[in-house]
Amino acid sequence: MVIVNLYAIMRDPALWDNPNEFRPERFLVSSKEQDNLDFNQNKTEEQNFSFIPFGGGRKSCPGSTLALNMMHTTIATMVQCFDWEFAGEGDNAKINMQLGGGFSLPMANPLMCLPVIHFNPFVSSR
Ligand code: HEM
């Protein structure tokens, strides 16, 4: 049986440049590579299976298709309808990408943000 430690893989400096840096553009890939939706899009030889958010094999996540589809709508709505104000205080006063413990990789210091609604052209102001 193969046991994969997601924490170790996702933050392994041998696989990722500055793994603790929030740099989503690292996942930008060419349209050719996007045809190959195997979650290893940005890969070099060594990076095979370096990004496996839904696990793999027989026990992999059965909700991955739903999650990937919903994620676009959810994030697009959050960006279109709201501005986001950073609201961290105390231990959370700075954005900190350090991971906490646990099964689902929570942040050590949760990111606190307040949604601020802005003009929505699709909602009548009457
Ligand atoms: C971004 C969203 C999600 C992520 C990152 C995620 C990730 C995962 C991971 C890593 C596993 C363990 C896979 C393994 O053991 O190899 C898993 C299992 C599972 N996920 Fe998800 N998941 C997501 C959304 C969902 C959704 C939307 C559903 C259902 C509607 C779902 C249902 C399940 C179920 C039932 C399992 C257990 C599968 C089994 O043990 O056979 N997940 N998920």
pTM, whole model, 2 decimals?
0.70
Share of the chain above pLDDT 90, in %: 16
* 1-29 per-position pLDDT tens digit: 555 566 666 777 887 788 888 887 877 76
Q: Best of 61, 64, 71 to mutate for ligand 1, by most ligand atoms within 8 A of CB? A: 61
Nearest CA to ligand 1 atom 21: 61
**Ligand 1 atom having least distance to the Cα of 52:** 10
Annotated binding site for heme: 61
Q: Which residue has the higher pLDDT, 124 or 3?
A: 124
The predicted complex's ipTM stands at: 0.97
Please say if the pLDDT value at position 45 is more than 50.
yes
* 62-88 per-position pLDDT tens digit: 999 999 899 989 999 999 889 999 998
Encoded tokens for 77: 């709505």
Q: Which residue has the higher pLDDT, 30 or 72?
A: 72
Average pLDDT, stretch 99-104? 76
**Is the beta carbon of 62 within 6 A of some atom in ligand 1?**
yes
User: What is the rounded CA–CA span in Å between residue 92 and residue 120?
Assistant: 30
99, 116 contact by CB (below 8 A):
no
Question: Which is it for the CA torsion 15, 18, 20, 26, positive or negative?
Answer: negative
